[in-house]
Structure 1
Amino acid sequence: MTLQADARALAPDLVSLRRELHADPELGRHLIRTQRRVLDALSGLPLEITTGRALASVTAVLRGERPGPTVLLRGDMDALPLTEDTGLPYASRVPGAMHACGHDLHTAILVGAARLLSARRRELAGSVVFMFQPDEEGTDGGGAVPMLAEGLLHASGELPVAAYALHVSSNRLPFGVFATRPGTGSAASDGLTVTVHGRGGHGASPHRAADPIPVLCEMVTALQTFVTRRFDIHDPVVLTVGIIQGGTKRNVIPDHAGFEATVRTFSRAARERVREGTATLFAGIAAAHGLTVDVDFHDGYPALVNDPAEAAFAASTVTDLFGAERFVRTPTPTPGAEDMAFVMEQVPGAFLMLGACPPDRDWATVPQNHSAQAVFDDAVLPDGAALLAELALRRLRSAQA
């Protein structure tokens, strides 16, 4: 049987696993029930399996019957802190937790790839590392970094030559269509926390106090000029203030006030310029008013960068396997963030999107990923598994050429 036929034969098992995971989602790093289901799904396969110490990860190594390099395949497993509103028969039974980003599909797809490749062990000249990752959503700070610290990239005994992952989308692509692009695929996501220190007093006598609130407001508006006048539009910055806090009563000038913002950048250079520039900007505004300010720029996920050769290889593999109509080149990077970026800082790779909107719905208007109403079609599971398996097979084969 062909790889695709074998993948289709696995479909009932993959759908069953995905729906079990969907009905019983877990948040963050400690996905104990999810980890148990993955281990059960991998049971009996010729894999070397280790589990995480700092988090409930699963790392499985498949060694081919011939020597060769290593390829890494990744699937994330965690849910989001949302209460599901889809009405699905297998909807989440856990209040405040939902697989609204499709990670339950990613887990089932990676299990499918492990089964497909295990059945083709004789064809493998090298090893495949299957990375089942908790906490991609960053509930506890992200899951890729602790997996890397625990030796993920040396699980087979050597650094992988390539890494691949895919992510389903409810509304960015038509059903069954894959997409990627060379270069930056998604933004870096960092946090900015600013606290302005003044001197409190009575609202009727502001001249006897040092009011931090108007200074804070000046900083927020100055950010927009900073972004639009200091950065090239072709290397953009997206900066959104999501929290403003200050004061306790309308006639009381507080001692301090603050805000928090999310910062999205698409290059290391822009990321560093935002870090340095905001600190200088806010210090100057505070000093002009005789106040002081604390600025904390805290790193989140770096930009995800697809290796151009690996992105081209992934695109040609999709076309060969499914036809040219099943692939599109992503025109621009997404301002969303993805912690597969930490792996791809060390290993060249490609990150692909896969349209999973049910074909009877309009993919351009349905609720998007991270919505409590997001819906993903199980019919993409066999093709996702087949693609990851084929990428590994071809990449190891090409290394022997």
Structure 2
Amino acid sequence: MTTSLTDDPRFTGLREAAHALQPNTVALRRLLHRHPEQGLALPRTQRAVLDALAGLDLRITTGRELGSVVAVLDGGKPGPAVLLRGDMDALPLQEDTDLAFASEVDGTMHACGHDTHTAMLASAARLLHERRAELAGQVVFMFQPGEEGHHGARFMLEEGLLEAADAPVEKALALHITSKEESGVLRCRRGPIMASANMFTITVTGRGGHASMPSDACDPVPAAAAMVGALQTAVTRRISVFEPAVLTIARITAGTTSNIIPETAELEGTLRALSEETRKTMLEEIRRVCEHVGAAHGCTVAFDFTPGYPVTVNDDDVADRVLDLSSAVLGPKHTSVMPNPIMGAEDWSYVLQRVPGAMAFLGACAPGTTPADAAPNHSNRVVFDEAAFPNGVAVYAAFALDALR
């Protein structure tokens, strides 16, 4: 990395400006956190975003089939476009924190920090609006629903996200908050940063009977149990140790009571990989292993594979630039190269298939705890440090100012 950007006048006062907007950022975040919504239709969240952008000179459109918001800011001179994203949807989870602004919706919680992403992006829009004369081009602000398994980014692309600006989108950035890093620290890396995801269900069918006479039945439970071990072995024996893959059987269901051998057993799991080749190999291997283990037990096997998100791959040059900008704006102590990808999945991957861009992680470990001990994203107890928000706002703004010089 380099700190040669430190004295660039475009970035002067960005952190201070982001800090000045902190009351707006926190207020929007807490409003969204109290009233989380799931999926693709987020009427209350969409309304809150529109209210937060009110009064700004933006060209705003909302989704035709989903609760998205796209806002375009025109710079002082013509030029290309840059895309910034904040996702908006929550998770099906009952919140169990002591926050004064905890979720008021039963069974729904902003446990992945999408409320923080949306609030930071709205404040970045306001900050960049104040500096729009410095922009040679346009900024597209992407407020996205349905990231949590609903393919919201793909639907926004299909509805014309990349055509919202008058010029081609040349670069894109999304920030993702995490409680497992020091507050305010930004981390990014070249290449794969998040994994692909596939969900699968395996149904093993035998022949039911009395539990006291298994020889008169064909028990699918031992077959299903054998498949779990065989699949883990397949990962270690079929995939190179230098090609990460995670295969987890997360649910096994069979039977109704203690004295009945069931006819069927069902396994449900997920496959994560950092390359399409590994993903394809393992999907074929899951089918092969389970069919043969099932046959050895006299059972038949049926599969249901659900394609998830592709691998999230950062553009090398954009990732390097994000790190340089972070070092210049936040300081080297608040910037680091992420050594390894994580095996979670992101539908930002769809955008990065179309536009050179990056995802970066913003640490927000809560005060009084350490990253190692902090409840992670997707936990019912996760808490994010709001003091990290100005750093996210400043990096969003710096990225646009740099891309649209």
Give TM-score scaled by structure 2 length.
0.93
**1:167 partnered with 2:190:** no
Report the AA paired with residue 162 of structure 2.
L
Answering whether residue 17 of structure 2 is matched by residue 3 of structure 1, we say: no
1:79 aligns to 2:90 (yes or no): yes
Counterparts of 1:310-349 in structure 2, within 5 Å, are 310-349=318-357
CA distance in 2, matches of 1:159, 1:245: 50
For residues 367 and 215 of structure 2, the distance between their equivalents in structure 1, rounded to whole angstroms, comes to 64
Shift of 1:297: 2.1
Instruction: Give % identity.
Output: 51
- The residue matched to 2:308 in structure 1 has which SS? strand
Instruction: Indicate if the aligned counterparts of 1:175 and 1:363 stay in contact, CA closer than 8 A.
Output: no
Q: Give the letter for the 2:164 counterpart.
A: A
CA deviations on 1:46-84 (whole Å, 9 max, x unpaired) are 111111122211111112232211111000111222222
Secondary structure at 2:169 match in 1: coil
Q: Distance in 2 between matches of 1:197 and 1:84?
A: 38
1:129 alignment partner, SS class: strand
Matched with 2:55 is 44
Instruction: Give 1:17-166 correspondences, 5 Å limit.
Output: 17-138=28-149, 141-166=150-175
- Please tell me the residue identity of whatever aligns with 1:389: A
Following superposition, the deviation at residue 158 of structure 1 comes to: 4.5
Of residues 251-260 and 322-331 in structure 1, the stretch that sits farther from structure 2 once superposed is 251-260
Q: Which residue, 339, 356, 366 being the options, matches 2:364?
A: 356
Question: Is there any run of 5+ residues in structure 2 with no aligned partner, and where?
Answer: 1-11
**What's 1:266 paired with?**
274
> Contact 1:163–1:350 (CA<8 Å) still a contact in 2?
yes
User: Take 2:75 and 2:56, find their aligned partners in 1: how far apart are those partners?
Assistant: 13
In structure 2, the residue corresponding to 1:115 is in which secondary structure? helix
Rounded Cα–Cα distance in structure 1 between residues aligned with 2:372 and 2:219? 47
The aligned amino acid for 2:153 is A
SS across alignment from 1:301: coil
What's the CA shift string for 1:115-170, capped at 9, x where partnerless?
Answer: 111112211111111110112122xx231121111111221145411110111111
Aligned partners of 2:15 and 2:330 also within 8 Å: no
CA separation in 2, counterparts of 1:361 and 1:196?
45
Q: 1:227 aligns with which of 223, 232, 235?
A: 235
- Which one of 286, 291, 295 corresponds to residue 287 of structure 1? 295
The runs of 5 or more residues in structure 1 that have no matched partner are none
Secondary structure of 2:86's aligned partner: strand
**1:279 maps to amino acid:** R
Tell me, yes or no, if the aligned pair for 2:79 and 2:167 is still in contact at 8 Å.
no
TM-score by length of 1: 0.94
